Amino acid sequence: MNTRVFAYDTTLRDGSQAQGISFSVEDKLKIVRKLDELGIAYIEAGNPGSNPKDLEFFQRLPEIKLRQARITAFGSTCKVGADPAQDSQVASLLSVDTPAVAIFGKTWDYHVTAILRTTQKENLRMIRDTIAYVKTKGREVVFDAEHFFDGYKANPDYAFKALAAAVEGGADCLVLCDTNGGSFPDEIYDITQKAVESFPGTQIGIHCHNDCELAVANSVRAVQAGVTHVQGTINGIGERCGNANLCAIIPNLQLKLKYDVIPTENLTRLTPVARFVSEIANIEFNDKAAYVGGDAFTHKGGMHIDAVKKNPVSYEHIPPEAVGNERKVLMSEVAGRSTILGRINQIDPSLTKDSPETRAIINRLKELEHAGYQFESAESSFELLVRKMLGKFKPSFELTDFKVIVSEPSPHGANSSAMIKIRVEGEDEITAAEGDGPVNALDKALRRALYRFYPELREMKLTDYKVRVLDSYSASAAKVRVLIESADSSGSWTTIGVSNDVIEASWRALVDAIEYKLAKAREEN
């Protein structure tokens, strides 16, 4: 049995079609880096012909030195009656010079006649000729057989003719798509097995949607039926009910069924990547998610805790650290101690898990997490917290007070102004600034006040700002979590603030960002 299965991630294309998600170019570049580090074989990056943002993203991709992932551009076959060599959409696919191209085509006869409004013969021609033309340009071609399972159930002969047309064109991989997400695992297995047997010389893949909450199960069954290419998204984000969740598919295949999907040592990156993508997408992370969720290995009280302390296998199907997660024992002073200790030791290697300082830090973390803090994507704030509690932190400035004024309508562009008074080693400084919003104005005023004392701050800039409402039931009085990403010539870092006041939460994150920069500067000097 061939145990190699290629993971194909479509978070940046299919995932971005989910309601409420809009990745910036910078967001996409960050996610590409994380997926490559995870060991994903293919990253479907979007359609370069669909919008200027995707085109800019593809143009900037050469900035990233990928270790192994193959970037894939996504688009459709040529238009009805068109020559692929003269088709603008096909030209845009080839213009970005990716090593692989994904082309989707119709395999359900209903879609051919009712949606494309063409003949079955012409659709087969479009599939065959488009793929053949792209192959002449030296690209690997992945053919997404759209609506394949619905098409097979309606007209199996035509669905297989569509696959055959793709093979005649030279497709490297045929991906069977359960586009409407309505198939069951037994259907997926039986139909997929027939496709695998019918095209023995061509790689077969699977692409499932989650409209019946079966996308992961369907994907696994397809692999058991013989496919060696599995498509999905991080956390299962996607249109309607979402796509197949790679964060469940990968460990299911690798840890349970012993398939080779990503490098074994990279599995520990899975949970951090899942949480990273949620933060970048600015959506709430699903703590109930299998493998990577915050509750996946959480135990509460009684018999379970007693059994887990004796042997974790009693209530855990895998070791949580295998996927980069951690065990949590609720209402226990030892919760998360081993995991946190490793990060504490980066600051003070002398501390042990039984040190009073370690206990104090863990207790403080519990309090802050209960208050809404989350440090997975704000490790810089965590480091500052540890330094403060260990007496290894000296504040670079003290706030006396600040005032923020928002003026609407704004005739001059900047609609907010901020005035701030700080003290640095006994010396006061008062400055003011205008900005596009109160946080931008406050950020500018704070930097301006500090430039005289810390000129190195001039090279620092705020690169990202995200707000998460933590209690939607409280409406405008809800507590919010603010994440701020900052950068300078040496790298980037993220800090966090939580409050019922979005300005105060932003202030806390801003202060941490500057303090982290100055602390690092002192260490380098």
Give the torsion sign (CA, 259, 261, 262, 268): negative
Q: pLDDT confidence of 298, banded at 50, 70, 90?
A: confident
CATH of the domain at 158: 3.20.20.70
- Residue that is last in its domain, among 251, 281, 311: 281
CATH of the domain at 328: 4.10.430.20
- Exposed/middle/buried for residue 176 (C-beta within 10 Å: 0-12, 13-18, 19+): buried
Please tell me which residue, 242 or 335, carries the higher pLDDT value.
242
- Which has the minimum average pLDDT: 219-233, 351-365, 503-517? 351-365
| CA atoms of 404 and 433, how far apart (whole Å) | 10
Shared domain check, 221 and 97: yes
pLDDT for 336 beyond 70? no
Q: What is the mean pLDDT of residues 291-307?
A: 79
Shared domain check, 463 and 488: yes
Question: ∠219-222-227 over CA atoms, to 5°?
Answer: 110
Question: CA of 108: how far to CAs of 119, 147, 151, in Å?
Answer: 12, 6, 4
pLDDT for 338 beyond 70? no
Q: Is the peptide bond before 312 cis (omega within 30 degrees of 0)?
A: no
- CA proximity to 141, closest of 164, 169, 121: 169
Shared domain check, 314 and 180: no
Residue 332 has what pLDDT?
Answer: 36
* pLDDT tens-digit series, residues 413-435: 778 999 999 999 999 999 999 98
pLDDT for 107 beyond 60? yes
Q: What is the mean pLDDT of residues 370-382?
A: 81
Q: What is the mean pLDDT of residues 342-347?
A: 81
Shared domain check, 32 and 165: yes
Let me know if residue 341 belongs to a domain. no
The β-bridge relationship of strands 6-9 and 229-232 is parallel
Residue 330 has what pLDDT?
Answer: 57
Let me know if residue 347 belongs to a domain. no
Let me know if residue 288 belongs to a domain. no
Q: How is residue 137 annotated by DSSP?
A: T
Give the torsion sign (CA, 54, 57, 59, 64): negative
The residue range of the domain holding 275 is 6-281
| CA atoms of 81 and 97, how far apart (whole Å) | 25
| CA atoms of 393 and 157, how far apart (whole Å) | 71
Shared domain check, 223 and 89: yes
Q: Which residue has the tokens 């030209």?
A: 91
- Which has the minimum average pLDDT: 25-39, 163-177, 330-344, 454-468? 330-344
The segment with the largest mean pLDDT, out of 233-247, 271-285, 350-364, 465-479, is 233-247
Shared domain check, 183 and 103: yes
Please state the domain count of the chain. 3
Helix (H) or strand (E) holding 218: helix 215-224
Residue 472 has what pLDDT?
Answer: 62
Q: pLDDT confidence of 411, banded at 50, 70, 90?
A: low
State which amino acid sits at residue 109. Answer: D
* Most distant pair of Cα atoms in the chain: their distance: 83
| CA atoms of 139 and 136, how far apart (whole Å) | 8
Helix (H) or strand (E) holding 70: strand 70-76
Residue 344 has what pLDDT?
Answer: 86
- Residue that is last in its domain, among 252, 281, 310: 281
% pLDDT > 70, the chain: 94
Please tell me which residue, 50 or 183, carries the higher pLDDT value.
183
Shared domain check, 164 and 70: yes
pLDDT for 263 beyond 80? yes
- CA proximity to 338, closest of 351, 385, 330: 351
Shared domain check, 439 and 323: no
* pLDDT tens-digit series, residues 155-195: 999 999 999 999 999 999 999 999 999 999 999 999 999 99
Q: pLDDT confidence of 149, banded at 50, 70, 90?
A: very high
Q: Which residue has the tokens 């796509």?
A: 243
Q: What is the mean pLDDT of residues 487-497?
A: 87
Residue 337 has what pLDDT?
Answer: 60
| CA atoms of 140 and 70, how far apart (whole Å) | 10
Let me know if residue 289 belongs to a domain. no
Q: What is the mean pLDDT of residues 435-444?
A: 90
Neighbour tally for 399: CB within 10 Å: 14
pLDDT for 340 beyond 80? no
Let me know if residue 171 belongs to a domain. yes
- Residue that is last in its domain, among 281, 308, 324: 281
Let me know if residue 65 belongs to a domain. yes
Shared domain check, 134 and 10: yes
Q: Where are the beta strands (DSSP E) in 283-407?
A: 298-300, 328-330, 398-406
DSSP string, 142-172: EEEEETHHHHHHH-HHHHHHHHHHHHHHT-S
Let me know if residue 360 belongs to a domain. no
Shared domain check, 49 and 13: yes
Query: 264 CB contacts (<8 Å, ≥6 apart)?
Result: 254
Shared domain check, 234 and 118: yes
pLDDT for 223 beyond 50? yes
Let me know: does 208 contact 187? Beta carbons within 8 Å: no
Neighbour tally for 421: CB within 10 Å: 16
Q: What is the mean pLDDT of residues 79-102?
A: 95
CATH of the domain at 490: 3.30.160.270
pLDDT for 334 beyond 50? no
* pLDDT tens-digit series, residues 197-211: 999 999 999 999 999
- CA proximity to 331, closest of 286, 375, 298: 298
pLDDT for 44 beyond 70? yes
Let me know if residue 248 belongs to a domain. yes
Mean pLDDT for the chain overall: 91
Query: 166 CB contacts (<8 Å, ≥6 apart)?
Result: 105, 127, 128, 131, 143, 145, 174
Give the torsion sign (CA, 470, 473, 475, 479): negative
| CA atoms of 398 and 395, how far apart (whole Å) | 7
Residue 375 has what pLDDT?
Answer: 79
Q: pLDDT confidence of 2, banded at 50, 70, 90?
A: low
Question: ∠153-225-221 over CA atoms, to 5°?
Answer: 80
Shared domain check, 423 and 305: no
Q: What is residue 315's three-state secondary structure?
A: coil
